[in-house]
Amino acid sequence: VTTDISVRLGPLRLRNPVITASGTFGYGVEYAELMDVSRLGGISVKGISLAPRKGNPPPRICETPCGMLNSIGLANIGYDAFVGQTLPRLRELGATVIVNTYGTSADEFAELARRFDSVQGVAALEVNISCPNVKQGGIHFGVAPEPAAAVTRAVRAATRLPVIVKLSPEAADLVGVARAVADAGADAISLINTIRGMSIDVETRRPRLGAGIGGLSGPAIRPIAVRMVYEVHRAVGVPLIGIGGIAGLRDALEFFLAGASAVQVGSASYTNPRTALDLVEALERYCEERRITPAELVGAVVSGD
Ligand SMILES: Cc1cc2nc3c(=O)[nH]c(=O)nc-3n(C[C@H](O)[C@H](O)[C@H](O)COP(=O)(O)O)c2cc1C
């Protein structure tokens, strides 16, 4: 018998607090041969848009010190293929599915939420607000409180599913954005998404990504993400999901102590696809040995400032 490490994030209950991060674990089904994906706390699938998207020109990823850059450009199979083909398979596998959604207007996010509301096998929606609002000059929804709140309100009104809003670290006032999405009805907040970066091949003098600029992820961003979770936790009451460079137990514990109720494993799955599952087992052992629950660790950092 293993220790109960289940967690509750508002209306969302997970068998454990370890989720694979969107875009770094495909649609989950790709990993079914390697592991029992039903043992993960959840799988946040690659961001789904209404229509399929091809994404950016290659190369789309490159390695950097302690991390990686990506410019996938939100390539995905689109709503119809996901719901028709992928979701039934995920249900068969017993996976806890968190659907990461991507839209270019509040209406598009709301339409996705409305559609997912009536399909079986979705545990929650994760709203990726780190994407351009085409109706307002391409400014990302996530950079300011008002557009972030507008998307959250629209999604909230369109679904009964738990709504997780995923913050962009590019916001000048991250705590302000967090407060705004909480007030607009988010059940939980996940943070952080990638931070824009660039790398140049000095021989060819070309950017190493086809799109030029991309998103930085991996251990390089972990201290930034921990700080952001800490600041948001102190200011906002909704449960948080910490993301950024998590590769093992100690990394996850840092996020719990800073104020996260659950964590997501992103880029680390590229190096070892079992990272998230290994973390589940390590966390079970840790909690069993110390006779504690993950919830007791949340926000338990001593002092700080
Ligand atoms: C290749 C790649 C694709 C990603 N695609 C998405 C996406 O579709 N939607 C999203 O919200 N985040 C996406 N992300 C961001 C991750 O979910 C995560 O927030 C970020 O990588 C930080 O976590 P990490 O340092 O553990 O990788 C992507 C990240 C990578 C590396």
Rounded-to-integer distance, Cα 135 and Cα 284, Å: 46
225-235 pLDDT tens trace: 999 999 999 99
Mind listing the pLDDT tens digit of every residue in the chain (305 residues)? Answer: 578 999 999 999 999 999 999 999 999 999 999 999 999 999 999 999 999 999 999 999 999 999 999 999 889 999 999 999 999 999 999 999 999 999 999 999 999 999 999 999 999 999 999 988 888 888 899 999 999 999 999 999 999 999 999 999 999 999 999 999 999 999 999 999 999 999 999 999 999 999 999 999 999 999 999 999 999 999 999 999 999 999 999 999 999 999 999 999 999 999 999 999 999 999 999 999 999 999 999 999 997 56
Burial label, 142 (beta-carbon count in 10 A; 0-12, 13-18, 19+): buried
Q: What's the Cα-to-Cα distance from 243 to each of 59, 78, 112, 265, rounded to whole Å?
A: 24, 24, 24, 7
**Helix (H), strand (E) at residue 132:** strand 132-133
CB 112 within 8 A of CB 49: yes
The whole-angstrom separation of Cα 67 and Cα 48 is 25
Is 152 a pocket residue for ligand 1 (Cβ < 6 Å)?
Answer: no
Q: Is 21 in the pocket of ligand 1 (CB under 6 A)?
A: yes
At 221, list the tokens. 């961003």
Q: Parallel, antiparallel, or unpaired for β 213-217 and 67-70?
A: antiparallel
**Residue 131 a catalytic site member:** yes
pLDDT digits (tens, 9 = 90+) for 84-132: 999 999 999 999 999 999 999 999 999 999 999 999 999 999 999 998 8
H-run or E-run covering 265: strand 262-265
Strand partners, 8: 13
Here the tokens at position 281 are: 């087992």
For ligand 1, pick from 19, 127, 222, 267 the residue to mutate: most ligand atoms within 8 Å of CB.
Answer: 267
Q: Which of 302, 274, 247, 238 is nearest to 9 (CA)?
A: 238
Any atom of ligand 1 within 6 Å of the Cβ of 194: yes
The whole-angstrom separation of Cα 113 and Cα 160 is 9
CA distance linking residue 37 with residue 14, whole number of Å: 13
Question: What count of other Cβ atoms lies within 10 Å of the Cβ of residue 79?
Answer: 20
Q: How far is C-alpha 80 from the geometric centre of its chain's CA atoms? A: 22
Query: Considering only CA atoms, which residue is closest to atom 4 of ligand 1?
Result: 23
* Non-local CB neighbours of 73 within 8 Å, separated by 6+ positions: 53, 54, 55, 56, 60, 211
- Is this model's pTM higher than 0.85 or not? yes
d(CA 259, CA 236): 10
Rounded distance from Cα 4 to ligand 1 centre (Å): 28
Q: Is 128 in the pocket of ligand 1 (CB under 6 A)?
A: yes
pLDDT of residue 305: 63
